[in-house]
Amino acid sequence: MTGVAERVPVEGRLEVREVSRRAFVEFYLTGTPATEGDASEAGALFAQAAAVLARRSIQPIQEKIYGRMLAREKVLSLRAHARSQHGLDPGVPVTWIEGASPSGGAFAGFQIWGITPRGHGGVVETVGDGVSRGRTFEVPGLRGLYLPCVRGTTSDGDLPAERVEQAQRMFANASAALAAQGFAYRDVARTWIYFPRILDWYDEFNRVRTAHYAGDDLGGPSCASVFPASTGIQGRCGDEECFMDVLAVQAKSRARVRLISQTRRQGSAFCYGSAFSRGAAIEYEGGCTVHVSGTASIDAAGRTLHAGDPEGQSLETLLNVGAVLEEEGRDLSDVCSSTVFCKDPASFEAFQRVTRLLGIPSLPAIHVLADVCRPELLIEIEAVAAI
């Protein structure tokens, strides 16, 4: 049935959400370790995921893996082995994001988004090389590009010593990679930006982003402007000061992209210095996929609420995520994929208490330890709801 998210039962801790469109089926896979997040658990999870990808003929568009850097080589090797065992391409681009599970384990989990075309209902392929390597996808009415792990390297592949220059080059590299595939930065609907030391220079980074957006014909930065939906959170994949994943979309006939700049609970983030929208709604094939930006316990004026109170922040954050979904006539039960970032294990435990006591639907989620963009913020949530 078009536009209805269904839970597909799969053995183990792999959760699969399926949304049927006219010309294709959209899939969201979330794999989380069952016990303490040991890297050895990744092998069984990747084997389950590879079996689902092969059986359902799913073409992955986006894949993210969360874990400690010390486990990266082993986990990526287990992923490649599982793909090869099921006749799948192990070289499909993937983003590695440093982040431990709340238990402290080395492997926190993975997320995969992909489609299964019906007949000639869509095609996904790897394009580019180096910094511009990504996945293009085309379905009726829509053409998209996903770029993983764009860093601020020079033309020689080196990272500048200064973090501001890295950020400037990161955006320039993203623009060049987009252009190489026939996209412009104004086509970007969603970004994910990671910093190993976010609390040291997030305000400084925001000035770089605003300057780039002013030069990329996004309408001129102001509180009334609409920018790509975004997450800004602690994380790294190497020795960089920042890197980003980018989702660009070109809507054609009977499809459109709408950026949600504010909700009834939160105003424009640009009014307190951050150039991003609260969410992005992508309408196509009779349905709508809503990307909810990284969302925290921040009020309409940009003030932190419930400082020092992880339960209060958990509830406020869930309400703010729900407000974005409410704009599209949906709620938390429609979420197909999400990431819950917790500053420390105590904040994660508080989040669990709130969802359990209030009977909030269990989200298909990766839970990972990470600093949020302000020292007093303890919880941040990003989500995708496919309708």
Mean pLDDT of 336-359: 97
C-alpha torsion angle, residues 259, 17, 33, 353 (rounded to 10): 70
Q: Which helix (H) or strand (E) holds 315?
A: helix 310-326
Judge contact between 266 and 197, C-beta under 8 A: no
Sheet with 134-139, side-by-side order of all strands: 123-127, 134-139, 142-151, 243-251, 188-195, 229-234
Greater confidence, 36 or 179?
179
pLDDT in the model for residue 92:
95
If you search the block for the tokens 């992209």, which residue do you land on? Answer: 257
Query: In the chain, at which residue ranges do the beta strands (DSSP E only) sit?
Result: 5-8, 14-20, 24-31, 59-67, 95-98, 107-117, 123-127, 134-139, 142-151, 188-195, 229-234, 243-251, 256-260, 279-284, 287-295, 335-342, 365-369, 379-386
d(CA 176, CA 184): 9
Greater confidence, 224 or 313?
313
- Residue 1 binned pLDDT confidence (cut-offs 50, 70, 90): very low
- Residue 37 binned pLDDT confidence (cut-offs 50, 70, 90): confident
Helix pair 345-358, 310-326: axis angle to 10 deg: 60
Q: With a cut of 80, say whether residue 322 has pLDDT above it.
A: yes
Tokens of 224: 């009334």
pLDDT in the model for residue 10:
46
pLDDT in the model for residue 136:
96
pLDDT in the model for residue 12:
46
pLDDT in the model for residue 4:
52
Write the pLDDT tens digit of every residue in 59-106: 999 999 999 999 999 999 999 999 999 999 999 999 999 999 998 899
- Residue 130 binned pLDDT confidence (cut-offs 50, 70, 90): confident
Judge contact between 115 and 27, C-beta under 8 A: yes
What pTM was computed for the model? 0.95
